[in-house]
Amino acid sequence: MPKFRVGFIGTGRKPERPSRLGFAMAYAHAEGYQQLPDCELVACADIVEENARAFASVYNTKVYTSHREMLEKEQLDIVSISTWPMTHAALVIDCAKAGVKAIHCEKPMDYTWGAARLMAQECERRGVRLTFNHQRRFGKPFRMAKQLLDEGVIGKLVRVEFGAGNLYDYGTHNFDMCNYFNGESPAEWVMAQIDYHTENLIFGTHNENQAYALWKYPNGVWGVASTGAGAWLIGAHHRIIGSDGIIELGSMEPGAPALRYRRFGKGEWETVDCGGEDMHGPGYIERAIADIVAALREGRESELCARNALNATEIIFACYESVRRRGRVDLPLTIADNPLVDLVERGEIKPQPER
């Protein structure tokens, strides 16, 4: 069987303990490809040579300091991109132009709505499979919650909710899962407010300190998100509310299981055994990589596809646009920039440096 030639852009420096600013996600991707018999880890490119060399010494790949040179010389089939968000679109488009078959890019899509759409369009028109690492879709608690929902255990879906650190950097996972629970529909409108008083740069990108967001889907289902200090208002990673009951994932209540549900009028929570998996893993990224490779092999679309990622990304930027417009934003979103960055750059929001 001919093997898919896999390359990596942005290896990171594998830390002893991952920090908020340097997870070296390429290593997690590489572990996934390494488990697949039809993948060959060929090359990596990082602008910091030392990082690329360290990665190559673990995975026995060739080393480049220019992704363009790597793309030109290595005839890659699949490229995994694990750089910071504001570089994603440009790197994805370079890969697509070089003729790779599939690109698996880290979340969030990019730093602006225009760049996120452009990278998706450029891949689509070249027939390149573009996916994003919203790996929680492959976590047992999330899969089993969807199964409970589809089986009608809590009746008809009414509302999806999440509590998280922020809307953009981590929130992209949460919005993506809300859309997953509601059948991958784009949202119809979004309304949000944020507080951003202390500079919060995550992977070089502005993230609010606290937000409250409401959105609605065309099928009548509502979404609610509360971030930062307000995450406690929701009190769970996700809550799925149906006509007959509630499913909770990652409740913030001490000792609560990863997944539980309760039917209205029936009293107690029922715990669902998720085999030790929580909101973060283990094994989610390996399963995500296995799915994007299987999708390429089988000629099908992975559920990590750009279309699904765009649905989540549109809600994020619509939240920030709602702040800028001081009102509800009806979708599709027609702006191209990142409204939060615009508000900061114009001095309308003045986050102070972290002390």
Ligand X SMILES: NC(=O)c1ccc[n+]([C@@H]2O[C@H](COP(=O)([O-])OP(=O)(O)OC[C@H]3O[C@@H](n4cnc5c(N)ncnc54)[C@H](O)[C@@H]3O)[C@@H](O)[C@H]2O)c1
Binding site residues, ligand X, CB under 6 A: 9-13, 22-25, 45-48, 51, 67, 82-85, 87, 106-107, 133, 135, 169, 203
Taking the complex as a whole, the smallest distance from the CB of residue 109 to ligand X amounts, in Å, to: 9
Q: Nearest to residue 67, comparing CAs of 45, 92, 40?
A: 45
Taking the complex as a whole, the smallest distance from the CB of residue 326 to ligand X amounts, in Å, to: 29
The dihedral through the CA atoms of 196, 200, 204, 207 has a sign that is negative
CA-CA distance, 265 to 342, in Å (whole number)?
Answer: 48
CA-CA distance, 311 to 113, in Å (whole number)?
Answer: 11
Taking the complex as a whole, the smallest distance from the CB of residue 16 to ligand X amounts, in Å, to: 13
Amino acid at 310: L
Q: Nearest to residue 198, comparing CAs of 347, 355, 20?
A: 355
Taking the complex as a whole, the smallest distance from the CB of residue 92 to ligand X amounts, in Å, to: 12
Looking at beta carbons only, is 132 or 217 nearer to ligand X? Answer: 132
Looking at beta carbons only, is 107 or 260 nearer to ligand X? Answer: 107
Looking at beta carbons only, is 11 or 131 nearer to ligand X? Answer: 11
Taking the complex as a whole, the smallest distance from the CB of residue 263 to ligand X amounts, in Å, to: 32
For 247-286, give the DSSP string.
EEEEESSTT--SEEEEETTS-SPEE---TT--SS-SSHHH
For residue 176, give the H/E element and its range.
helix 171-181
CA-CA distance, 166 to 193, in Å (whole number)?
Answer: 12
296 SS3 class? helix
Taking the complex as a whole, the smallest distance from the CB of residue 130 to ligand X amounts, in Å, to: 15
335 SS3 class? coil
Q: Nearest to residue 315, comparing CAs of 132, 142, 185, 122?
A: 185
Taking the complex as a whole, the smallest distance from the CB of residue 83 to ligand X amounts, in Å, to: 4
Taking the complex as a whole, the smallest distance from the CB of residue 66 to ligand X amounts, in Å, to: 8
Q: What is the DSSP letter of 351?
A: P
Looking at beta carbons only, is 58 or 158 nearer to ligand X? Answer: 58
* 231 φ/ψ angles, rounded to the nearest 5 degrees: -60, -30
Looking at beta carbons only, is 23 or 189 nearer to ligand X? Answer: 23
Looking at beta carbons only, is 32 or 223 nearer to ligand X? Answer: 32
Looking at beta carbons only, is 22 or 155 nearer to ligand X? Answer: 22
115 SS3 class? helix
Report whether 100 contacts 70 (CB < 8 A).
no
Q: Nearest to residue 273, comparing CAs of 157, 148, 172?
A: 148
The dihedral through the CA atoms of 320, 250, 146, 216 has a sign that is negative
Taking the complex as a whole, the smallest distance from the CB of residue 208 to ligand X amounts, in Å, to: 16
Looking at beta carbons only, is 205 or 210 nearer to ligand X? Answer: 205
Looking at beta carbons only, is 67 or 129 nearer to ligand X? Answer: 67
